[in-house]
Structure 1
């Protein structure tokens, strides 16, 4: 195993396993954006909903898919109802709905709903299968809602990405607004920008592609090359851009200014065992400058829409994994990054300002230097089994100090188990 450049300063401690586990491989865990619950996707064709308060099963959603459920995502900004999208190896995506009969986590109903024959259960408590989105020719590998919650992206082994619009007409109607087929291999993952309608995807063709809407059509605005193997997962940085960054306050402020120009970065992981961070290069030519250049008779290579974007590899995180890295998660609260994969390890990284180095001034000014360090390494998180997914979630277990805003890490593995970890010093 490659050695981290600095000794880890933190450790991961098992808080609990979600109970009961699946008897088959579990692919992914999706934390709810508002409630202390998570959805897990399993090879047994079901989605399980667990509580993060007592780590017990609340519901089992079944009957919508004919093969393994590979992925799930919660729709944001929904009031009074939870809406879940799922993707399956049966080439379909499903939309599930359930009325929320509680206003906050303290009133969360912990009774099991789906599959319970108790007369106390009300039919309104059940998850309702709203609609099946059919269009892909092969396995759906990832689903993701846009920041607004109006668009759903799905990607597949058929090398395509579909974008669907939720018409929100009360009849569960979705409209296909785009089908992108530029990838040359299976599309493994999709993720949305935290504030804009901008999509990023990773593929078996070793590339990361960035997509935006141009007038009434979606198109590729950037192709990021650098990984030497399948890109298994991608995720945007949250906002603000300097959360969790360590170093002098004035240096952090300077970094924040540069981050604002570039926008949220992208983190990716790959079969090549690496975790990488990518940064968009701010456009230097403004519309006014382009007009002035045209008036002077200078040639311009700027597209009329100006949608093409330049991205650069900003950092390769310290090498700790010795097998494929399947999942990466960027905490929007702390700025910490976690990764996991085929070697069963969970690694946590932190970014810090490099002391004693000042950003270069003048026309060749550069981003204030930062570096990533490994703060925690957990070996064999699920014994001998591969870990398929890692996610950050707000800590919600009972008995803790509620005045502290804490996060937990959730890992999902081939043995069917899902484990919840705390990060401490």
Structure 2
């Protein structure tokens, strides 16, 4: 079992956890140049993503018994606070202090779309930029693996849920705002999390010291 941690010391650590719950650090990754705010594992591969104060997202995988950075996603104009994979792991959402959410798509070597890859590593390309919806820093993004809905936690005290349009082009997906709770909390919303078993059940937490539960129903 693998565990990943990140820190203000700019590093990402990968740990191996054995059956006795002994923790052994197997790799220290120093690819970021500023605080690392968030790490998340791919849903079914040994692929790790991190978000940082240096405005980038980085991806890591294991290569010859060591962990290495295999991609850097650049495009945000300020701190990247959080990242989330979709159910397939083919796409990644990132949210930032620049008030945008970016959707990145993985293109494997030899892809039909003709996106260039270096060697055997996939290329990640930004295919959608959700801007104009948030008025302050977006601290968290959560991608529901049951419904595909995308939720955000924002410094404007609000929660928003986005849905991908059914006729969306995979190369240029379109998402629309499906729900907006303007005063979800009385202070900054720090984190949102979808329940992995019950569709539409969302939890949020805030600087106001409260955890709230929401039932999201998709618009008819």
1:194 to 2:43 alignment: yes
Give the structure 2 partner of residue 143 of structure 1: none
Distance of 2:203 and 2:171 partners within structure 1? 33
Give the structure 1 partner of residue 62 of structure 2: 213
Match of 1:340 among 139, 153, 157: 153
Q: Which has the larger Rg?
A: 1
Distance of 1:391 and 1:269 partners within structure 2? 14
Give the structure 2 partner of residue 272 of structure 1: 98
Give the structure 2 partner of residue 328 of structure 1: 141
Give the structure 2 partner of residue 420 of structure 1: 213
CA contact (8 A) 1:222 1:311 kept: yes
CA contact (8 A) 1:354 1:369 kept: no
More helix by share: 1
Structure 1 residue 411 displacement after superposition: 0.9
Distance of 1:422 and 1:319 partners within structure 2? 25
After superposing on structure 2, the runs of 4+ consecutive aligned residues of structure 1 that deviate more than 6 Å are: none
Distance of 1:336 and 1:199 partners within structure 2? 22
Distance of 1:336 and 1:377 partners within structure 2? 13
Give the structure 2 partner of residue 73 of structure 1: none
With over 3 angstroms needed to count, the CA separation of the structure-2 counterparts of 1:413 and 1:186, relative to structure 1, is: same
Give the structure 2 partner of residue 375 of structure 1: 178
Structure 1 residue 197 displacement after superposition: 0.4
SS of the equivalent of 2:37 reads strand
Structure 1 residue 180 displacement after superposition: 0.2
The count of corresponding residues between Structure 1 and Structure 2 is: 213
Distance of 1:275 and 1:221 partners within structure 2? 22
Structure 1 residue 317 displacement after superposition: 2.0
Distance of 2:189 and 2:125 partners within structure 1? 29
Structure 1 residue 352 displacement after superposition: 1.4
Give the structure 2 partner of residue 409 of structure 1: 202
More strand by share: 2
Give the structure 1 partner of residue 193 of structure 2: 391
CA contact (8 A) 1:412 1:419 kept: yes
Structure 1 residue 374 displacement after superposition: 0.6
Structure 1 residue 380 displacement after superposition: 1.3
Structure 1 residue 369 displacement after superposition: 5.0
Give the structure 1 partner of residue 114 of structure 2: none
Distance of 1:330 and 1:302 partners within structure 2? 28
Match runs of 1:26-425 below 5 Å:
150-168=1-19, 170=20, 172-239=21-88, 263-284=89-110, 303=119, 306=120, 308-354=121-167, 367=170, 370-383=173-186, 385-393=187-195, 406-424=199-217, 425=219
CA contact (8 A) 2:85 2:91 kept: yes
- RMSD over equivalenced CA pairs, Å: 1.9
With over 3 angstroms needed to count, the CA separation of the structure-2 counterparts of 1:423 and 1:369, relative to structure 1, is: same
